[in-house]
Amino acid sequence: MNGDPNPPDRVIGSHEPRRCAPVEGRETSGQPLRARWRSRWRRSSRPIHGAFAIILGVPRVAETAELIEELQSRQEPRLLRALEMVAPGTALREGIDNCVLARTGGLLAIGDEDGIAPLLSGGVKLDIEYTPGILYQLAKMDGAIIMSQNATKILWANVQLTPDPTILSRETGTRHRTAERVSKQTEALVVSISERREVVSLFAEGAKYILQEIPAVLAKANQALATLDKYRARFDQVSMRLTALEFEGGVMLHDALTVLQRAEMSTRMAVEIERYIVELGVEGRLIEMQLEEMLVGVSADRSALIKDYVVDHREASFATVMESLPRLPNQDLLDFGQLSEVLGYDRKMSTLDFPVTPRGYRILGRIPRLPDQVVDNVVGEFGGLDTMLASTAEELEAIETVGDVRAKEIREGLRRLQEINLVDRYLQT
């Protein structure tokens, strides 16, 4: 290694994985993944478009927390942790990029030492702190490099990995074939750096994910943002129409399902964009801010919509719908028969001709500073939006946790919602 030039200091671009082994206890981006999600969405302050902005205000913390949990539950944690580990701006990514630029190639196994130890043959025991420069120098040797599970230490260098040769591998190169077999035999994340093709491949549990350069990932993220913007515009449009129909008492099941479909489509696109944000690392800040601006309010509106129109109003039924909806294939999401079945209706019915009555969760949720407990009590008392709109101030005051001041706020809020909805509809024509 003596006499070699300094490692390259230019960072080449990003690359992309599919599934990666879990890496516990790492905080390569300054915060754990869960903490970054919470801080990211709590900072959100997307202005609501149209006249509704007058009364809706900033989303409640409960709504943003619900959105966080929703997007987290749809991600693959192993993939996100691996993407965070090799994202631009991290020390590990700098070392990998140095190896790619110098065309030294390399094979990194990141995981529990006890799990990888049976596959090691020869090599040098190091147990030193990781730095990009040391990784670059060690990669000049032919053997593999073993790193700790949180990628903060280099444990072994120049070792030969000897996985079970009977494990099926579809790779042709020796280095990639070894990486695939090691990933199948252990829980380690294996990074294979091609010397000639300058390609970085991640292997976890046999799944292969090829990293892409930053411009390619940014192009995908921007395309996804443009799609999400169209989805959000359409969601706002059909949501406004549904609000008008609810006040008029003319809602058909098709109208409610249209809003539910658009909310789910927006959420799915946001999940895709979030993966790009994690993969881009420090290069994804602008994409992150745009995503925050586009998605606030969708999750809360969808949850209230389900509570309004699900056939079985019990909490267990609501939870079942919330679990079933994300599992619907994209093709089934376009089928209103499938969507109506998720809510408990007969999928063979004509949704265009089937009238439904909202319970009032969605409308009450648009009144500022109205606690969820009050919303539950009001809906439980009246059972439907029509009855709620026809109620008197005395009937509202008699409900537990409401009182005279809050009853006045509810009546005034409902009145203003009706007026503002008329204004918005007029402006749209």
Report pLDDT for 400: 86
Give 345's DSSP letter.
Answer: S
Report pLDDT for 274: 86
Identity (one letter) of the amino acid at 78? R
Report pLDDT for 18: 37
Report pLDDT for 74: 76
Report pLDDT for 200: 92
- Parse the chain into domains and list their residue ranges: 87-212, 215-428
The CA distances from residue 260 to 41, 186, 238, 310, in Å, are 22, 42, 10, 11
> How large is the angle between the packed helices 253-280 and 214-248, nearest 10 degrees?
160
Report pLDDT for 7: 45
State the pTM of this model: 0.75
Return the half-sphere exposure (C-beta side, CA atoms, 13 A cut-off) of residue 10: 5
- The closest of 346, 334, 343, 262 to 306, measured between CA atoms, is 343
Report pLDDT for 195: 84
Mean pLDDT in order along the chain per 10 residues (429 residues): 44 38 40 44 38 38 57 72 86 92 91 92 93 92 92 94 91 90 91 88 84 91 95 93 91 95 93 88 88 85 93 90 91 92 91 93 89 90 90 88 88 86 64
Provide the CATH number for the domain formed by 87-212 in this structure: 3.40.1700.10
Taking a C-beta distance cutoff of 8 angstroms, is the pair 259, 252 a contact?
no
- The closest of 19, 22, 16, 81 to 206, measured between CA atoms, is 19
Provide the CATH number for the domain formed by 215-428 in this structure: 1.20.1260.110
Q: Which 3 state secondary structure label does DSSP give 29?
A: coil
Q: What are the DSSP E strand ranges found in 366-417?
A: none
